[in-house]
């Protein structure tokens, strides 16, 4: 079962009247249980829908951000900001807010650059370096895969 299929199954179960589902095959075991008293991962407004009860599965802590050297562009060395998890990429905290960063913005280490929603939990992705945003590689509210490049950054010297 692929991650996207699991996410769709979780969304379906969240919207159904079921409180608990267990699936077991030769390849994997999956147990999902609604828990209406589970705390939210971050204090960020839900992007498009009302908050749903969170499955009991504990999410892994989100790494701040992964950077690797990218292709050399116009004689400059750029770094990629990569997705630390599978989820949905958001450039702002809610539809009415400004984007965290835009092309041409100078960012500082520790500054939030986006949010990745995974299993109804919102995880802020922070910059590990200071630099200038050169390119945004993903559309707002798009699904992203683990290790998928999100931004290109020109590091500050």
Residues 98 and 50 in one domain: no
**DSSP 8-state secondary structure symbol assigned to residue 44:** -
DSSP 117-150: EETTEEEEEE-SS-EEEEEE-S-TTEEE-TT-EE
Q: Is 10 left (phi over 0), alpha (psi -120 to 50) or beta?
A: alpha
The CA–CA distances, whole Å, from 141 to 24, 45, 130 equal 31, 14, 25
Judge whether 115 lies within some domain: yes
Q: What is the CATH number of the domain that holds 127?
A: 2.40.50.100
> pLDDT tens, position by position, for the chain (157 residues)?
667 777 777 777 767 667 777 777 777 677 776 664 444 444 444 444 334 444 444 444 444 444 444 444 455 689 999 999 999 999 999 989 999 999 999 999 999 999 999 998 999 999 888 999 999 999 999 999 999 999 999 998 7
Residue 139's pLDDT is 94
Residues 81 and 148 in one domain: yes
Q: Which residues pair with 155 in a beta bridge?
A: 131
pTM of structure: 0.54
Residues 140 and 76 in one domain: yes
What total of structural domains would you count in the chain?
2
The whole domain housing 105 covers 66-155
For 144, phi and psi rounded to 5 degrees? -130, 155
The CA–CA distances, whole Å, from 85 to 57, 115, 128 equal 15, 11, 16
For 145, phi and psi rounded to 5 degrees? -100, 160
């Amino acid at each position: 079962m692929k991650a996207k299929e699991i996410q769709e199954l979780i969304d379906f179960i969240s919207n159904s009247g079921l409180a608990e589902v267990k699936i077991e095959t030769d390849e994997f075991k999956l147990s999902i249980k609604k828990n209406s008293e589970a705390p939210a991962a971050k204090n960020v407004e839900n992007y498009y829908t009302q908050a749903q009860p969170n499955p009991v599965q504990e999410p892994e802590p989100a790494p701040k951000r992964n950077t690797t050297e990218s292709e050399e562009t116009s004689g400059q060395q750029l770094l990629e900001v990569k997705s630390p998890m599978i989820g949905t990429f958001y450039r702002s905290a809610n539809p009415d807010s400004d984007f965290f960063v835009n092309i041409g913005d100078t960012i500082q280490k520790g500054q939030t650059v986006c949010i990745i929603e995974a299993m109804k939990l919102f995880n802020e992705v922070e910059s590990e370096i200071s630099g200038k945003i050169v390119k945004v590689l993903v559309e707002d509210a798009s699904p992203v895969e683990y290790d998928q490049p999100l931004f290109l950054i020109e590091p500050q010297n």
